[in-house]
Amino acid sequence: MFFNLAFLFDFIIDYILVLYFSVAFLFLLFLVVLVWGFIVLFKGFCLLILFKFFYCF
């Protein structure tokens, strides 16, 4: 009985850890995608402004 209970607790702790790390990993991935998208948009915006500036002259 004790061994079964210990195994159950170990399983629950492992499950919580995996869940926590997967959530943290997904949040990190979301941040990376957000930063990457912001950089791409910013570069596109800068290039657009530069092209408009050069076409004015």
* Domain positions in the chain: 1-57
pLDDT higher than threshold 80 for residue 57: no
Q: For 1-57, where are the alpha helices, taking DSSP H only?
A: 2-56
**C-alpha 38 chain-centroid distance:** 14
Buried b or exposed e, range 41-51, using 16+ CB within 10 angstroms: eeeeeeeeeee
* pLDDT above 60: residue 41: yes
Residue 32 has pLDDT above 80, yes or no: yes
What sign has the CA pseudo-torsion 36, 38, 44, 50? negative
Grade residue 27 by pLDDT with cuts at 50, 70 and 90.
very high
Measure the CA–CA gap between 29 and 45, rounded to whole angstroms: 24
Is the pTM here over 0.85, yes or no?
no
Q: How confident is the model at residue 29 (pLDDT cuts 50, 70, 90)?
A: very high
What the block records as the tokens of 4 is 């079964």
